[in-house]
A = this chain, B = another copy of it.
Amino acid sequence: MGRKSLKEPRQKEIIKAFYKIVKKEGLENASIQKIAESIQINPSLIMHYFRSREHLVYGLVEFILDRWLHIFDVKDAEDPMDELRAVLDNVFSKKWNSLFDDGTSYSLYSLAFRNKTIRQRYKHLLDTLRQRLAEMIAACNKTKQLTVKDPAAAADIIFVLVDGAYYYLSLVDDKAEYDLRLAVYKQHALKVLN
């Protein structure tokens, strides 16, 4: 009995508004009041759906971490090598920048060092990413299209390259230089597979 719960859609709406403000003004300047104002609701409503600002941040972390998994969103192909190539294309491409705001990413990541919950979430995600890539490499081994001795180690190095690549690239303004470097880093990642 009683009114239907709007919890899920409202929470998502609030988190998206939160994210928008974090992108523009930074995590430390994204206040409950600003979020409420931006979607024209009462600040108390945010406290109603998230118990505290801390939990709101948890929501944003979940929202961002879920996006990482989108790099595995590729067409199902019969050839596992095609799928692997598509994933690497996703990782070393502009899709990245459309998925992630760099400032937000590093802000949230920095929280992992003072907050156990966030730390565990991040660790789990990074491990999941590596594991899924390793499985794809192993699948290519099975079809003899690749002969990678240690798929897990290879996947690990590739993600190290990815993380390191974007750390520097996020400061590169020149588009041509950006593309060139990204291509070089991708080449290096591919070399790991041979």
Residues of A with Cβ closer than 8 Å to B? Answer: 25-28, 101-107, 109-114, 119, 122-123, 126, 153, 156-157, 159-165, 167-168, 170-172, 181, 184-185, 188
Please tell me if the beta carbons of B171 and A119 are within 8 angstroms of each other in the complex.
Answer: yes
Q: In whole Å, how far is A108's beta carbon from the nearest beta carbon of chain B?
A: 9
Instruction: Give, as a whole number of angstroms, the nearest-CB distance from A21 to chain B.
Output: 12
Q: Given contacts A161-B160, A161-B164, is CB(A114)–CB(B26) below 8 Å?
A: yes
Q: How far is the CA of A129 from the CA of B50 in the complex (A)?
A: 44
A153: chain B residues within 8 A (beta carbon): 184
Number of copies: 2
Flag if A110 contacts B107 (CB, 8 Å). Answer: yes
- Give A171 to B157 CA distance when docked, in angstroms: 16
**Contact indicator A171/B126 (Cβ below 8 Å):** yes
Contact A167 B168 (CB under 8 A): no
**A153 smallest CB distance to B (angstroms):** 7
With the chains together, A87 CA to B153 CA distance in Å? 25
